[in-house]
Amino acid sequence: MKQLATLESRFWGEIHAPGTDAPFVVRGPTYLKDKKKIPAGLTQFVFAAMDLIEVPHVVQHVARFLPSIRDSGLPFAIIINLIIPGNPLLGVVATFATEQHPNQILVNPPSRPMEEEHDWQPFDFVLH
């Protein structure tokens, strides 16, 4: 997917390396009490592509037109399209992808996640 991106990877490729911990910290389980943040750990998605596009007008569902997304063959991606107003109208499209669809890896959600042990992460509940 990286080679299909319209913006050279030297501008964005070093932000996160697949298979390594995310380069930031998040609120820990006791954050409201002690204000401590913890390393984010492994990510659910990889920063797969970055596209900079010029469009004549705002385009809904821009992902269907981008080769980095359309031709990638990946089963699931989250696309963020930041529109920069002006003349020309620009779009910065960030693509975060995963090798498996969440429905295949997120099975049997815990019935009482706050009361029982489970291996689900908070973001897993958002995807399920």
3-state SS string for 46-95: EEEEEEEEEECCCCCCHHHHCHHHHCCCCCEEEEEEEEECCCCEEEEEEE
Range of the domain at 103: 2-26+33-127
pTM, whole model, 2 decimals? Answer: 0.61
Task: Give the residues across from 98 on adjacent strands.
Answer: 76
Q: How many domains does the chain have?
A: 1
* Tens digit of pLDDT at every position of the chain (128 positions): 455 556 666 666 666 666 777 777 888 888 889 999 888 777 778 788 888 888 888 888 887 888 777 777 777 888 889 999 988 888 888 888 887 766 666 666 667 666 777 666 665 666 55
